[in-house]
Amino acid sequence: MNQERTFRVIFETCQEGIIVVNTEGTIVLANQACNNMFGYLQDELVGQGIEKLIPVPMRTPHIEHRHQYAQNPVPRQMGAGRDLRGLKKNGVEFPVEISLNRAVLKESEHTVAFIIDITQRKRMEDALKRSEKQLISYATELESRVEERTEELDHTIAALEKINRDMEEQINVRINAENEAKKALDRERELNELKSRFVSMASHEFRTPLSTILSSASLIEKYDDPSNEPKRRRHVHKIKSAISNLQQILDDFLSLSKLEEGRVDLKRSEVNVSEVIEEVIDELSSLTPENQAIRLLIKGKETLLNSDDKIIKNILINLISNGIKYSEKDIDVILNYSRASLDIKVKDQGMGIPEGDQKHMFERFFRAKNAINIQGTGLGLNIVKKYVDMLGGTIDFVSKLNKGTTFIVNLPIETGKEPETNLSDTVNEKNINY
Ligand SMILES: Nc1ncnc2c1ncn2[C@@H]1O[C@H](COP(=O)(O)OP(=O)(O)O)[C@@H](O)[C@H]1O
Ligand SMILES: [Mg+2]
């Protein structure tokens, strides 16, 4: 096969369209692929102007480009960056890719164009672009849906959290109400128990003073002779102390049930404790036998207390009447003022409290072994302890069997004010006998 035939075969069988154009723009050669691409028969294109293969609007610019290429005929890609289009014989346009080369054939300048039909590639590219766009819009939509869902979820979570909180609150309210009810029930139960214990105690304790009163009254009736005056006085005293016992029992019970029901309110004012003591001693003196004195001793600078005088009075009545009851000798009430607090000591020289019983002293209904034959409820000290707690104070005692007992109440002062008539003004220590 000679060389020219070889080239011819290559030329004709090449898959790319090859077209050779002279300087006038006339087609001098077109291969099979090119004819197929543009829809022409063999050799039909030869002699035609190259612009025949170009869509009408592009023809004029193409002529321009062709002249420019002729000035600078370096091999290059045609229409870089632009979409090139070819025109088929049947008028259909299609996308092409073209590279240009310069060739000298038969001693004259020619341009060789290699043409590829890129319809397929374009279609794929477009499809790719479309699906890319679709993907992007899908992703965007998805994103916004996720956002929406997240927001919805946030709302739902917030609503659930609120429901949770509300429920917790409701549960707490219910628990609190239940606790309150339980407490109220316990209190009620305790109060009922207290009342029934009291009733059995009182019916027992009432009998003795009542029978004392009855027998003493009958005896007084009999002792009408003036010579019996000392006997009559003794029985009058017996009656008075029996009545006082009854009164004490009722007072104890009343105070305790008030305390238990929370009906005791603190009413604070400026309290002069020595005045309160004078009142108490006054009230109790009718009960003390003639040979039993109550002495008041004041130490330190007298100061008014920011406290409740009625409660202080109740505390003192209890402690001093215990002193009277459990001792036949004199009783000392000692006030000892310091800067911040007042010590009130009630000291007797009576029967004392057995050591083994001492730890139960403030328990309700507790009575020491050696006090069994003396009237009492066993409530007084329990009440006193509660009162002292209310006043923010403390209570303690020391006792020795058959030697005596001293109760010490310490109360906060909280005013720093002095009373107008100060018993300890003139002497630092004053001893007052009643
Ligand atoms: N000053 C005292 N001396 C001896 N014993 C006392 C004295 N004060 C209280 N007690 C003992 O403490 C008990 C409880 O006292 P209290 O609560 O006042 O009840 P009550 O005087 O009604 O028995 C008394 O029964 C007694 O045994
Ligand atoms: Mg008592």
Instruction: Answer yes or no: is pLDDT of 432 > 60.
Output: no
Ligand of minimum distance to the alpha carbon of 324: 1
At 50-98, the pLDDT tens digits run 999 999 999 999 999 888 888 888 878 777 767 899 999 999 999 999 9
Domains annotated on the chain, with CATH:
3-117 (3.30.450.20), 267-433 (3.30.565.10)
Residue 422 — pLDDT band, cuts 50, 70, 90? low
Distance from Cα 241 to the centre of ligand 1, integer Å: 16
- DSSP per residue, 230-268: HHHHHHHHHHHHHHHHHHHHHHHHHHHHHHHTT------
- The number of the ligand 1 atom at minimal distance from the alpha carbon of 367 is 25
Any ligand 1 atom below 6 A from CB of 380: yes
Any ligand 1 atom below 6 A from CB of 386: no
At 327, give phi and psi (nearest 5°). -150, 150
Indicate the residue type of 10.
Answer: I
- The number of the ligand 1 atom at minimal distance from the alpha carbon of 318 is 18
At 15-38, the pLDDT tens digits run 999 999 999 999 999 999 999 999
Distance from Cα 343 to the centre of ligand 2, integer Å: 20
Nearest protein Cα to ligand 1, atom 22: 376
At 137-160, the pLDDT tens digits run 999 999 999 999 999 999 999 999
Question: Do 38 and 89 form a contact (C-beta atoms < 8 A)?
Answer: yes
Instruction: Answer yes or no: is pLDDT of 429 > 50.
Output: no
Which of helix, strand or coil describes residue 434? coil
At 349-399, the pLDDT tens digits run 999 999 999 999 999 889 999 999 888 889 999 999 999 999 999 999 999
Q: Residue 423 has what pLDDT?
A: 54
Q: Residue 430 has what pLDDT?
A: 47
Distance from Cα 240 to the centre of ligand 2, integer Å: 17
Tokens representing 91 are 């008028």
Q: Which of 256, 320, 353 to mutate to test the pocket of ligand 1 (most atoms within 8 A of CB)?
A: 353
Residue 426 — pLDDT band, cuts 50, 70, 90? very low
Question: Do 400 and 352 form a contact (C-beta atoms < 8 A)?
Answer: yes
Q: Which of 244, 326, 328 to mutate to test the pocket of ligand 1 (most atoms within 8 A of CB)?
A: 326
- Across the beta sheet with 429-433, the strand order is 394-400, 404-412, 341-347, 331-337, 294-299, 429-433
Any ligand 1 atom below 6 A from CB of 314: no
Distance from Cα 417 to the centre of ligand 1, integer Å: 34
Nearest protein Cα to ligand 1, atom 8: 322
Residue 418 — pLDDT band, cuts 50, 70, 90? confident
At residue 47's C-alpha, the angle toward residues 41 and 52, to 5°, is 75
At 321-347, the pLDDT tens digits run 999 999 989 999 999 999 999 999 999
Residue 290 — pLDDT band, cuts 50, 70, 90? confident
Per DSSP (E only), the strands in 152-288 are: 269-271
What is the 8-class DSSP label of residue 329?
Answer: S
Distance from Cα 318 to the centre of ligand 1, integer Å: 9
Question: Do 64 and 87 form a contact (C-beta atoms < 8 A)?
Answer: no
Q: Which residues pair with 307 in a beta bridge?
A: 269
Whole-angstrom Cα distance, residue 386 to residue 409?
12
Nearest protein Cα to ligand 1, atom 27: 368
Contacts of 382 by beta carbon, 8 Å cutoff, 6+ apart: 256, 362, 363, 364, 365, 366
Region 220-232 average pLDDT: 89
Question: Do 348 and 309 form a contact (C-beta atoms < 8 A)?
Answer: no
Any ligand 1 atom below 6 A from CB of 205: no
Question: Do 300 and 422 form a contact (C-beta atoms < 8 A)?
Answer: no
More confident site: 207 or 40: 40
Question: Do 119 and 86 form a contact (C-beta atoms < 8 A)?
Answer: no
pTM over 0.85: no
Distance from Cα 379 to the centre of ligand 2, integer Å: 7
Any ligand 1 atom below 6 A from CB of 371: yes
Q: Residue 434 has what pLDDT?
A: 56
Ligand of minimum distance to the alpha carbon of 379: 1
Q: Residue 380 has what pLDDT?
A: 93
Using a 10 angstrom Cβ sphere, with 0-12 exposed, 13-18 middle and 19 or more buried, the burial of residue 299 is middle
Distance from Cα 378 to the centre of ligand 2, integer Å: 6
Tokens representing 5 are 């035939």
Q: Residue 428 has what pLDDT?
A: 40
Whole-angstrom Cα distance, residue 277 to residue 77?
125
